[in-house]
Chains A and B, each alone.
Chain A
Amino acid sequence: MYRYDEFDHAFVSARVEQFKDQVERRLAGELTEEQFRPLRLMNGVYLQLHAYMLRVAVPYGTLSSRQMHKLAHIARRYDRGYGHFTTRQNIQYNWPALKDIPAVLDELASVEMHALQTSGNCIRNVTADHFAGAAADEVGDPRPYAEILRQWSSMHPEFSYLPRKFKIAVTGADRDRAAIQVHDIGLHLKKNESGELGFGVYVGGGQGRTPMVAKKVRDFLPVEDLLTYTTAIVRVYNLNGRRDNKYKARIKILVHETGTEEITRQIETEWQAIKETDLKLPQQDVDAIDAYFAPPNLVQRPEGWSELAAARKADPAFSAWVDQNVTPHKNPDYGVVTISLKPIGGIPGDATDAQMDLVADIAEKFSYDEIRVSHEQNLVLPHVAIADLRIVYDLLLTDGLATANAGLITDIISCPGLDYCALATARSIPVAQRISERFGNPERQADIGELKLKISGCINACGHHHVGHIGILGVEKKGEELYQISLGGSGDEICTIGDITGRGFSSEEIVDAIETIVDRYLEIRTDKEETFLATYRRVGAAPFKDALYSEVANAA
């Protein structure tokens, strides 16, 4: 993985020093909140309901054991013993004191981490496929490009005061695990006919109150043009994006209002003017960054398969975990392990300091020192030998980290909602917990199969509800929490925004309503192979609406 050189170290420590100075001036009353707010946001410090919140960037979701140990240490020393992994591949601490935050940033800097650009109207932490560098279906590792973009976007002089936040995601496989089509820019790394690497470029996707699927503006962009083309896109946006209305300020609105053809023309015109400038990437630089992400030297472990077969036979629970949480690796002796942060009835994405330490230790011994944070709020061990799966499973089991539910209905994405978030209109975590309990039976969830359920506590859609196969949005109506359901959303390569079913459900009704939908799916699917999403795409909303609004109404 990428290692800071002196340049990066000097940059990050200068920023920490600046922020220390700013915090001191704020506490001394030399800066007003109005002056300080943009400064703290630039350093990832929000105010939530109960306390400050610090959002730490995990660039493209990649962590070493050392870094994970540090995150655990921060949770223990400066917070309340846990952290929350988010859909943006970040970690959030919910209770730090403002006066301690400079010290936390120092701690982070000591392991090459920071909280920069996790907030504000700048180019945010660049995200990537969490299976990058490991997945069997990958064309190329997206992380070197995400790293180049991360560097280039750091304190960008032209693009730090954009109309609104700007999110870039990169995927390295045709199977899109980074939800690139709901980002401001989505990059799909692929090969052209002559085998050269480049990007399919998507612009103007996003969630929030006006969800939109990104438009493709270029089918193949050579790697050397990555930064010039991105600059052209962001410049067109910076100059023309709306600034009169915060809710219309994202690039998706500009793309929508301008039209894909015209916006593409503007981008191309701007690009022609800057294509041959200093930002054109020399191959040697790409190679140098690439080298940091060279795959680890995986030892051959062919004995794993026979051991695995025996271990599976002996323990059905282990076998179910392998089926659900282990994904094929490029190297047939290895697997990619998803560590579910969704224990049945638990809080999605939360991990204790002890759990973080445990994962760090396991990664050090059994995953070539690498950990990933997925946008599905899980952790990933990218390189685990098939021969080590059993021991890894046993270790995970010791602290509740071996839930066999990756991709199933209890693998719920949930934003913090009204339990923490100052913008929330309803709680989301308790709804996730109750749904998880309702469907927690292993056989039952396995029978239901792949089903992505996502919950947000307000229209900002941090919980990705628009692209949930089943999405839940919590709103406030007459002082009560009310939950709207949408169906058929998907954030992968066939990206769709879910359709709202109709009137919302109270907190008491919502879990039954979800069960009604799932039961109807089980009745009408052609067979077990037809997933919920496939069924929905075949039959549409009608059968589900029927079930929801006749049965629930009757029951009430």
Chain B
Amino acid sequence: MSDIEQPAGELWGREGFREDPYVTAETLEEAGDAPAVILPLGVWLGLTEEIRNASNRKIGVVVAPGESVEPLLPLLDSIPVIALEFPAFSDGRSYSKAELIKNQHHFKGELRAVGDVLIDQVAYMLRTGFDTMKVNHAVTLNRLAGHNLHDVPGYYQPGRGSHTVPGTYSWRRVPGA
């Protein structure tokens, strides 16, 4: 587990920064009576179905790059948030996991990127299916605050948050939902 505890208010999404309703904890007990909590994958998988689906609190899961998301795939409907970790910006495994979770398996909840995110990666994350990010990189935070996503005017791949333009090649897209 990497340290993803940050002051509230640093969760970023397309609409800007907002307060993070979730606390991160190693176990459910540690979370006390927090109404929304994110647990490590192993712990989350060990919960009973009853606890996971309890209506009085939301229990999300955080997945490290080396962990497989396979066991989550049949359970996606019961997960409010999946956080994929980026302990180092150069570790790109979580992009493929985002593709699997969001686009191949149609996860409806919040997909979150946490960790070392470079500003140039934010656009990639949005396109592979991330909804939010919790970033510890100061430059990135500054640029996000300035709404500068370092994006390009067109993409050569299908992906979320983009649409086709008639009359061009099937793999091309332009930004905008």
Contacts and interface: CB of A to CB of B under 8 A. Distances in A.
A10 B93 contact: no
B150 interface: yes
Contact of B124 (A121, A160, A285): A160
A159 B92 contact: yes
A158 B171 contact: no
Contact of B92 (A162, A279, A281): A162
A180 B46 CA distance: 47
B158 interface: yes
A282 B152 CA distance: 25
Interface centre among B99, B123, B127, B128 (most CB of A within 10 A): B99
Contact of A156 (B125, B152, B157): B157
A279 B120 contact: no
A258 interface: no
Given A282-B170, A285-B170, A158 B99 contact: yes
A35 interface: yes
A238 B104 contact: no
A157 B127 contact: yes
Nearest to B95: A158
Given A10-B153, A161-B90, A285 B169 contact: yes
A146 to B, nearest CB: 14
Interface in B31-65: 65
A235 B96 contact: yes
A247 interface: no
Contact of B172 (A7, A39, A235, A243): A7
B96 A158 contact: yes
**Interface of chain B, main secondary structure:** loop
Contacts of B1: none
Nearest to A13: B153
Interface residues of B, number: 35
A15 interface: yes
A38 interface: yes
B123 to A, nearest CB: 7
Contacts of A5: 168
B134 interface: no
A274 B93 contact: no
Contacts of B95: 157-161, 238
Nearest to B164: A278
A161 B99 contact: no
A151 interface: yes
Interface centre among A39, A158, A243, A289 (most CB of B within 10 A): A158
Contacts of A159: 92, 95
Contacts of B150: 18
Contacts of B155: 155, 157
A238 B152 contact: no
B154 interface: yes
Contacts of B92: 121, 158-163, 238
Interface string B120-163: 11011101100000000001000000000010111111110000
A278 B99 CA distance: 14
A11 B155 CA distance: 8
A227 B96 contact: no
A245 B93 CA distance: 15
B127 to A, nearest CB: 4
A154 interface: yes
B20 interface: no
Contacts of A14: 152-153
A249 to B, nearest CB: 11
Interface string A317-361: 000000000000000000000000000000000000000000000
Contact of B157 (A157, A163, A243): A157
B28 interface: no
A383 B120 CA distance: 43
A273 interface: yes
B123 A157 contact: yes
B104 A273 contact: yes
B154 A238 contact: no
A28 interface: no
Interface in B84-111: 89-93, 95-99, 104
A314 interface: no
B118 interface: yes
Contact of A278 (B93, B168, B171): B171
A288 interface: yes
A496 B118 CA distance: 41
A239 interface: yes
Contact of B91 (A161, A278, A282): A161
Contacts of B168: 5, 7
Nearest to A120: B90
A274 B105 CA distance: 11
Interface in B62-91: 65, 89-91
A11 B169 CA distance: 15
Contacts of B157: 152, 156-158, 279
A281 B152 contact: no
Nearest to A289: B169
A492 B109 CA distance: 50
A238 B139 contact: no
Contacts of A239: 93, 96-97
Nearest to B152: A14
Nearest to A288: B169
Contacts of B172: 7, 151
A281 B170 contact: yes
8 contacts: A7-B154, A14-B152, A35-B139, A160-B95, A161-B121, A162-B92, A235-B99, A243-B93
* The 3 nearest A-B residue pairs measured at CB: A161-B92, A157-B124, A157-B127
Given A159-B95, A161-B90, 4 more contacts: A38-B89, A159-B92, A160-B124, A278-B170
Interface of B: 65, 89-93, 95-99, 104, 118, 120-121, 123-125, 127-128, 139, 150, 152-159, 168-172
